[in-house]
Amino acid sequence: MPKLNIKNKKILFLGYGAVAKCVWNYFNAYFVFSRQNVFLVDRTKNAFYGPNLRSVKKIVMHVDTTNFEDLIKEMGFEKGDVIIDLSTSTPTYYFIKMCFMKGFHYINTSIEDTSDKMLGKSIDSQQQTVKEIASLFDEKDSNILIECGQNPGLIQHYVLYALNEIRKRKSSNKKDDFRQKTMRKVITDYKIGTILMSEIDNMKLKKDTRNMDDVIIYNTWSVNGYIFESLDNTELVRGVSNHYVQPVIPKECMNDLLMKIYSVPEKKVKREVIFLNKNALKTSLNSICPVLNKHGEMEFINYRGKLIHHGEVFELARYLGENAPFMSYVYKNSTYMDESIENFFRHYPDCTEDDLWIYVNQEDTFRVFDNMKGEKMVGHDSVGCTIFCGEKEVEEIYWCGSILSDRDENVDEEFTPTIVQVAAGVLSGLSYILEPKNKNMGWVEPTDLDTLYMLKKSVPLLGKFSFVEIPVKDFTGRIVYEEI
């Protein structure tokens, strides 16, 4: 697909961490632009390293509600210019309001509002809040795309693509059909009871130089982001009328108070948002998805993963309606993170999980492995959706997603596959909202975008993108919830 010409637009990167560096690295593969119109903003000057930084403007600033408007005025931003928000712990809702008011185009990968101490515990409620903000603006000069990275973001399109492929396999109509009513019908026609967003982080250090006497929390991506997500109570979702195969979660494991506090604000409730008593570190489900063996071939792996709340499941539940399957993100995270947390509590046995959160928000207590700093990561990341079909038992299983390896030719040596997969979602989503034909959309979510467009734009950065049927005999037999 041809590059989009956006030479006439100013472009602001809010936050210049690993994902922003990767998005910028691949930016010229997607867009024709003027480097003089690109602004990189981060709260620390130490963030400005990596490829292709010549001739772009770098600003050290912690952007918040007191200085954002002055910043965009100083940069000369006008209607139609672009904000790529890859920051953390910043006022997301305020940025979105200002972009609506000013007519800027905007994209982020997650809602990170610092003032949102209440709704931040519920991603479903956060999404509803953005919807309420959007409803305040009748004139839609902006395209505002929220939560569009890999997951959430592209993974919604893995689900929609898989549902379309299941329908084509099983019916005489082989034409693509991604209409909402068709997607909903597929759920019922083929008895889809559970969709698990399945991810296995198989990245390893080429040379492990860690000293476990030093209490450092390590990860292959944001340490703070992972700890923040994993210490929240697990939040799940399912449609109220889907009665096909699903994991059984005992009533005593559910948090009734949180379910009342964050109840779905709809006149006719079509989905059930479930909060568990335990946080993500202490909850898990089993799933199955493909990984690469030592010969680079796909093989299916049964695994247990953490139940971390993620935006894609709530958006998909609204999209699929009352027949939406049970959905959750099931993440087998980096072994380095597991080892780091164990090491922390071994050194500080009297500390709590709240103490862990305070600890990783200090200086020099955490580290994200960085290829650009000599910490070479090898291996692959497998991320996609596992779809379970059946009335009472699992009768069919399908998987659709990306397996990206450090050996794939489009993975530049400065970046890990995990980060490249996220960048693929940002770049394809940004391309869509900047297409001249897609004007005045206002607030959009990933499922509002064209699935085939999104996949065509992102596949060059996804390695092995596949839709496969997994033999039921290869699965352990049941989807079982467990607490630690």
pLDDT in the model for residue 224: 85
Token pair in block for residue 209:
């130089």
Residue 121 has pLDDT above 90, yes or no: no
Residue 116 has pLDDT above 80, yes or no: no
pLDDT in the model for residue 117: 63
Residue 244 has pLDDT above 80, yes or no: yes
Residue 118 has pLDDT above 70, yes or no: no
Percent above pLDDT 70 for the chain: 98
Phi, psi values for residue 143, rounded to 5°? -115, 115
In this structure, the strands spanning 143-145 and 105-108 are: parallel
Query: What average pLDDT score do residues 327-350 get?
Result: 96
pLDDT in the model for residue 427: 98
Separation of alpha carbons 286 and 480, rounded Å? 6
What pLDDT band is residue 477 in, cutting at 50, 70 and 90?
confident
Which range among 108-117, 364-373, 463-472 has the greatest average pLDDT? 463-472
pLDDT in the model for residue 374: 86
Range of lowest pLDDT (77-81, 111-115, 124-128, 236-240):
111-115
Are the C-beta atoms of 216 and 192 separated by less than 8 Å?
no
Asked if the peptide bond before residue 152 counts as cis, ω within 30 degrees of 0, the response is yes
pLDDT in the model for residue 467: 98
Q: Is the dihedral of CA 155, 157, 162, 167 positive or negative?
A: positive
Domain annotation for the chain: domains and CATH numbers: 4-145 (3.40.50.720), 154-416+459-483 (3.30.360.30)
pLDDT in the model for residue 249: 95
* Between 27 and 294, the higher pLDDT residue: 27
Mean pLDDT of the chain: 94
DSSP 106-138: EEESS---TT-TTGGG-HHHHHHHHHHHHTT-S
pLDDT in the model for residue 89: 81
Go through the chain and tell me how many residues it has: 484
pLDDT in the model for residue 287: 97
Query: What average pLDDT score do residues 262-279 get?
Result: 84
pLDDT in the model for residue 120: 66
Phi, psi values for residue 414, rounded to 5°? -75, -15
- Residue-wise pLDDT tens digits, 176-219: 999 999 999 999 999 999 999 999 999 999 999 888 889 999 99
Which residue, 304, 247, 248, 309, is CA-closest to 278? Answer: 309
Are the C-beta atoms of 25 and 412 separated by less than 8 Å?
yes
- Residue-wise pLDDT tens digits, 157-173: 999 999 999 999 988 88
Buried b / exposed e across 457-479, counting CB within 10 Å, b at 16+?
A: bbebbbbbbebbebebeebeeeb
Percent above pLDDT 90 for the chain: 84
Query: What average pLDDT score do residues 125-144 get?
Result: 91
Which residue, 478, 453, 477, is CA-closest to 1? Answer: 453
pLDDT in the model for residue 289: 96
Are the C-beta atoms of 484 and 281 separated by less than 8 Å?
yes
Separation of alpha carbons 186 and 447, rounded Å? 16
pLDDT in the model for residue 265: 67
Which range among 109-118, 259-268, 409-418 has the greatest average pLDDT? 409-418
Query: What average pLDDT score do residues 227-246 get?
Result: 94
Query: What average pLDDT score do residues 397-402 get?
Result: 98
pLDDT in the model for residue 139: 80
- Non-local (6+) Cβ contacts of 420 within 8 A are 22, 26, 404, 410, 411, 412, 461
Strand partners, 384: 198, 401
